[in-house]
Structure 1
């Protein structure tokens, strides 16, 4: 079975996100933990969360993916920005324990001309201060396109962060197809080689989720502009190979394409038609 979902708005509430996912043929979804461009978080509603958990159980959902806000930058040159990143992540991870055994994804951040080494030091310090032994949420580092001073533009930077996290069993990776293609990993013509490189440097056991997006820009452009499935430079044939690859097919796939609900429904139908049941 293809484990597929899209990005839904938490403003509707947890139960309604579950219902929206079902309405488009999804068995998972991604959501921002709070305003993606700010710091305001939705208040905890235990009844609403329990209703979602029931939907997930009855309909055999796979793991959900919560996404940290874009404003969370753990390696900023500004100390207060780093403090806010820590405060937001602690709050997010505590709330995620009410939806246990799911995933929490964040962008490693931008070092803002401080240099990659200093940026990684800050990211590692954050993770070592917010993770705890009993937590049930797996925290994912997202692969990035390499624009500006982003950290996570290559597998080596992701691996370096994980290698220095004390509670490594709480860590994983979310691979974004648009990002890695824009970063210079040729998933169109050399998917097997890219996965071999990922396995050698990070380990495929760390790969927990995939952001499934086409790209508005050509290979190695470092632009990070998502396109609808089959309408960009990655293309439907390459995406078909990705969802059917033996090393990837059992993972949850999350669409972040420029769509509304009806558009996501059509993409999910397309991808299901391309998925080969074993």
Structure 2
């Protein structure tokens, strides 16, 4: 792991594979650990350079004030383009997961020359908040259960990991995997203040981020090969969101993971990696 300075900020990155191999840039959602180690290793074994990175206010990237971010979604998109250029090797295959998928959509639209392919995992084409009328919103009972829980002691690593495990069970994800990832995220979080922990563990900075203007109507402008991956059992961004993106992007392939919810499960890594590799 290291940091790369672009756009006046430091972005924490981890690289898998040869430095001169074709680049697959993996946007964190919000930390790089949203992308499973096994997926990065699969891509590297297939001759790609997989680089996953932390968004601002998470992990090893510049953290200032997650409660009042002085940047916008467009700035995060510009970070992706600048990072792809800094890492070299020509246009990159860009992949975004969760809220990182929002960054990836805008990045490909605003900086088309920087990218050669696009993968979107478990995301949607509108900003955080109420969705468009034709898009399914977060599952109500699931969200009520998630937000009814008291927050953990953010200074207690094991309490935070347990909080993540229970949340994963509510969402339909693997609690053991979520526990392990949350502990690793905690280890990489620059402080135990609740706003910083919430940004790293739950991506809450996006609730305060300026995501205007809308980009959904621009999706037909995407000119690169595109893969949309979505869990059939996703209760946070229900699968109709992924289906809508795939309909809007010309020639996009939709891969629905029948047994997946919000997180990318280990059992699906091989299938997703192979689908990504077909894009280039």
Q: TM-score range by the shorter chain?
A: 0.3 to 0.5
Q: More relative contact order in 1 or in 2 (CA 8 Å, sep 6+)?
A: 2
Q: What TM-score results when the alignment is normalised by the length of structure 1?
A: 0.36
Q: What TM-score results when the alignment is normalised by the length of structure 2?
A: 0.36
